[in-house]
Structure 1
């Protein structure tokens, strides 16, 4: 759901009469909405999805940023959007699923159209075909949101996405193995979802993912389905319920090895790559792109266990807790500076 207070904050006007907020990693402004520019918007959709998600706001004049609102024609087009068709277009153009929603808000008697795009659960989102005027979307390309700009993904961000996907896959295996370990290999059975049959001699415990288990109904061999059309599986043997399942969490063993740079050291490393850069440039990019809270680039370096426990309990970062950074952060900041220097 897109909340109106969030959009009101995005469109807040400064004392100068211009928008207080600038375009960034999670925000893009457009002056008007037009169906002929859908491919351009879809490109932003995929870029936001491949990063942290974000908002695409229509009705903001460019240079200077003034919230004039949508014209009557643009508003009419925006309100005629068919979500089912748009989702179909996205599935046809990109791999993976892009989750999004839309809304129109009236603020200060002006209408603004808003798309909210959510962070993709499975990355990367990849273009499957050429699309749009001048092929603004190209087959095989991956788009990513950098600061206030959408562009083709760079190596550090792609590497981080790939590593994250490998980690997710490993965690799924760890979770499955923990369930089997709880039962014991001699007691575990394998569910064949293709044949819809579970068979193992002397099996006592069934290992099933919780989401799948909630959708299954079992009948014993020789019994009948009471409800016509109900989803059933043939059960050979008995199932003994387990009180709880232990979930294995992967914990970073050596944080400093993965994130070896303090903020000051990070600025020094960036300067080696971009000699004209300053500490202020690095601090600004960290702030604008919220790198302190992006675990692909940084981690919290808790000073003691109590700080860490307090954070786990409250979700609030303790005052004075520094962040430490990895090599991906160096490349990310350097890429932003290169873009700004063009």
Structure 2
């Protein structure tokens, strides 16, 4: 039974497909490639069917050991990395793996309709003829234009190798360069099967999406047209794919900004500033200011990437935040994330701009984050804190409203409200001891430590040990990613925040009740 096919897909491959989907890290295309052989090609649609439950719905996923053994025998790099990433997209080894003839008839490539390869029987030197597929591939994940292969059947006809290799790819690059919104990187290559040469152009995925036309020449292309590669065809992009591209672009920009902040922080810089390049005035985040000398100002220049550099021997100018050029001024702002709030709280840092840390609460999806620690640094009382958050402009109104409701109603995590002293009786002394690997390796012991912290009525005189335990748990991703322990950690975190820095007018903690035992009790 194991060798029988289910609607054209061998039964033994279904558990492996499910195991790869479960583990993650592979696209549908890569899974199909890994499971294809010369004698048995897995169609991309079959993988999609398994993913959607249309095929093999009653089949269990392969266990990890079985998947690992298959990947090892498959001889793919690092457990199944795309060969384009290992060797390069036009390297002979990549092409040997991707483009193989059918076992039953070597005159045909073992390909089906896909979103990563398009066949052309002939190579046309009119470069703009390939504008459509190049734009479509660039907006998706990149792909191959094959010349000498019949579209639809993938019969290998071959083309004149010498003529193809003699053609200057820069002619294509220049022709499409002026017609598209951004430069698209292309490479030329080819391979032979039984004496027939197949030429190809590989289109790299665009670094900046969406790619669109900037021409209006009365032909089939209108200005600002966006094409996207779908299996077997290049079509105007669908709304859901465009939304995904825009969301990815926004996320990538956010990650670049955060990476810049972290890299500067690693150097040890602690200030944010606005620099006037005409006058040399530097306004700091603490509202003080100073001036750069004319000599220093001349030696500092802004480079294209938006970073500051210096000439050899000139004084260095270090800036915290993201530089945004507007006219002759550079406005510096910090971009933070929930992890930055937790890190600063655990280290009890005096941050240069506590109001910015509070504003991050209105952008974060996580509800339970330190707040009073930063409010005290910013000089806010309770009404002032609420007014400040009300003034924050954000696209995540739900996050903002959650924080405002939390503060107005003086809410506490449900796990905190259901933790009592009797639940951790006899364990209070554990907080006086430094964290040990023995405890941290035992999730049940970690839960007891966190519940002990949540049961505190006031912070002990040696509060460093409390923070040492919180820091030790935070630095163990295996613990924090545990759903229940992660909730306990954040409940303990905000409890310590309130005990140490909460407003004097805050309502007293509710009377202890039964201990929490399941994640369902957290709000």
Shorter-chain TM-score: what band? 0.5 to 0.7
Matched, 1:33 2:117: no
2:157 counterpart of 1:68: yes
State the partner residue of 1:157.
Answer: 241
Q: Structure 2: how far apart are the matches of 1:191 and 1:119?
A: 39
Q: Superposition RMSD on alpha carbons, in Å?
A: 4.2
TM superposition shift of 1:5: 2.3
Distance 1:78 1:99 in 2: 19
Greater displacement, 14-23 / 120-129: 14-23
Distance 1:40 1:23 in 2: 21
Secondary structure of 1:151's counterpart equals: strand
Match of 1:92 in 2: 178
Contact 2:147 2:200 (C-alpha < 8 Å) held by counterparts:
yes
- 1:14 alignment counterpart: 102
What is the distance in 2 between the residues matched to 1:306 and 1:108?
Answer: 53
Give yes or no for contact 2:308–2:317 (8 Å, CA) kept in 1.
no
**Match in the other structure for 1:283:** none
The answer to whether the 8 A contact 1:189-1:198 is kept is no
Quick one: distance in 2 between partners of 1:111 and 1:174?
A: 48
Q: Secondary structure at the match of 1:160?
A: helix
1:52 aligned to 2:141? yes
Deviations 1:6-25 (A, max 9, x none): 22333312233132122311
Report if aligned partners of 2:120, 2:150 keep a CA contact under 8 Å in 1: yes
Q: 1:93 to 1:185 in 2, by over 3 A?
A: same
**Contact 1:10–1:21, Cα closer than 8 Å, also in 2:** no
| Contact 2:139/2:211 (8 A) holds in 1 | yes
Q: Are the aligned partners of 1:47 and 1:145 in contact in 2 as well (CA < 8 Å)?
A: yes
Query: 1:217: which partner in 2?
Result: 311
Q: TM-score, length-normalised on structure 1?
A: 0.55
Name the counterpart of 1:174.
258
Contact 1:39–1:137 (Cα < 8 Å) also in 2? no
Q: Encode CA deviations 1:62-94: one digit per residue, 9 max, x unaligned.
A: 353222211x3xx45533432333222222100
Q: Gaps spanning 5+ residues in structure 1: where?
A: 221-237, 255-304, 310-342
CA gap of 1:250–1:55, structure 2 versus 1, over 3 A, is farther
Structure 2 unaligned segments of length 5 or more: list them: 1-87, 283-289, 293-299, 320-334, 340-363, 367-476, 482-523
TM-aligned CA deviation for residue 215 of structure 1: 6.8
Q: How does 1:127-206 map to 2 (within 5 A)?
A: 127-130=213-216, 135-178=219-262, 183-185=269-271, 188=273, 190=275, 200=282, 201=290
Shift of 1:97: 1.4
Query: Distance in 1 between the 2:263 and 2:152 partners?
Result: 57
Aligned mates of 1:67, 1:250 — CA distance in 2: 55
Q: Which residue of 2 aligns with 1:101?
A: 187
Q: Deviations over 1:32-75 (max 9, x none)?
A: 10123x333221111111111111111112353222211x3xx4
2:309 and 2:195 map into 1 onto residues whose CA distance is 48
**Does 168-177 or 210-219 show the bigger shift?**
210-219
Following TM superposition, by how much is the alpha carbon of 1:176 offset from its aligned partner in structure 2, in angstroms?
4.5
What is residue 93 of structure 2 aligned with on the other side?
Answer: 5
TM-score (norm 2): 0.37
Relative contact order, higher structure (CA 8 A, sep 6+)? 1
Q: Distance in 2 between matches of 1:120 and 1:191?
A: 35
Structure 1, residues 251-279: CA drift from partner, whole Å, max 9, x if none? Answer: 8958xxxxxxxxxxxxxxxxxxxxxxxxx
Retained in 1: the 8 A contact 2:269–2:318? no
* Among 239, 246, 250, the residue aligned to 2:316: 239
Checking the alignment, whether the CA contact within 8 Å between 2:128 and 2:176 is kept in structure 1 is no
Larger radius of gyration: 2
Render the CA deviation track for 1:282-315: whole Å, top value 9, x for unaligned: xxxxxxxxxxxxxxxxxxxxxxx65999xxxxxx
Closer, same or farther: CA 9–59 of 1 in aligned 2, 3 Å: farther
After TM superposition, give the deviation of residue 198 of structure 1 in Å.
6.5
CA separation in 1, counterparts of 2:305 and 2:186? 23
CA apart distance, 1:166: 2.0
Q: Partner of 1:93: helix, strand, or coil?
A: coil
Query: Does the CA-based 8 Å contact 1:45-1:117 persist in structure 2?
Result: yes
Q: Deviations over 1:82-112 (max 9, x none)?
A: 2333222222100011011112333322211
- The 2-side partners of 1:151 and 1:94 are apart by 16
Q: Distance in 1 between matches of 2:203 and 2:480?
A: 31
Aligned residue in 1 for 2:168: 82
Equivalent residues of 2:121, 2:151 under 8 A apart: yes
